[in-house]
Amino acid sequence: MNTIDVALICKALSDSNRLQILQLLTEGELCACELLEHFKITQPTLSHHMRVLSECELIQNRKDGTKMFYSVNCETLTAFRNLIGELVCKK
């Protein structure tokens, strides 16, 4: 994971709605309508948040009929966690 990828992920997670969305998705796959039930935002606003999370590859999506389902991209999230875990103060 390069520094640009890390910066994009940090920017995506700096929004409380996106952080909450990611937390919800760690429990399992959800469709957009299920995610909307947890927020007081419009569908276009949710789409914006999902696009930001998708562009930095924190989430993945799949379409089933007319519904869009989202899940955590565990590979990206694990790589990010490992990189952050390596950041320690060295005295």
Percent of the chain with pLDDT over 90: 87
**Mean pLDDT of all residues in 14-24:** 97
Sheet with 59-64: list strands edge to edge: 30-31, 67-72, 59-64
What is the predicted pLDDT for the residue at 1?
83
Is the pLDDT confidence value at 32 over 80?
yes
- What tens digit of pLDDT does each residue of 51-78 get? 999 999 999 999 999 999 999 999 999 9
Q: Where are the domains of the chain?
A: 3-85
Distance, first Cα to last Cα, the chain: 26
pLDDT greater at residue 55 or residue 91: 55
What is the predicted pLDDT for the residue at 87?
83
In CATH terms, the fold of domain 3-85 is Arc Repressor Mutant, subunit A (1.10.10)
